[in-house]
Amino acid sequence: MIKKMIKKHPILILLVTFLTISTNALETVANLILVYAIDTIIDRKVKLFLTLLAIMILGYLIHWVTGYYTRVLEEKLIQKENHDIRQKYMENQMSTALENDFR
């Protein structure tokens, strides 16, 4: 089933995969920046701390946006698959009903 889904929606699956990886990577980088920012505040480097804090906040904002679009595209993919399943089910039911009418 997964192979069929990949064949039907290759670009959407690729985009969701890329956004998922980049979202997790952004969160990891932002968390690492937080660790360095804490070290700089301990060393009393306030200017560097504020710079790292700004970069970290920017990273979290980008993380939030990419996470939002990842969830939207995942739902879009799920809806497309549900539509395809419903379509096949209805076609099957119609052909079964027509076969029963002709017997």
Check residue 103 and give its pLDDT: 58
Using a pLDDT cut of 70, give the percent of the chain over it.
Answer: 96
Instruction: With beta carbons less than 8 A apart as the criterion, state whether 29 and 59 touch.
Output: yes
Quick: pLDDT tens for 20-67.
Answer: 999 999 999 999 998 999 899 888 999 999 999 999 999 999 999 999
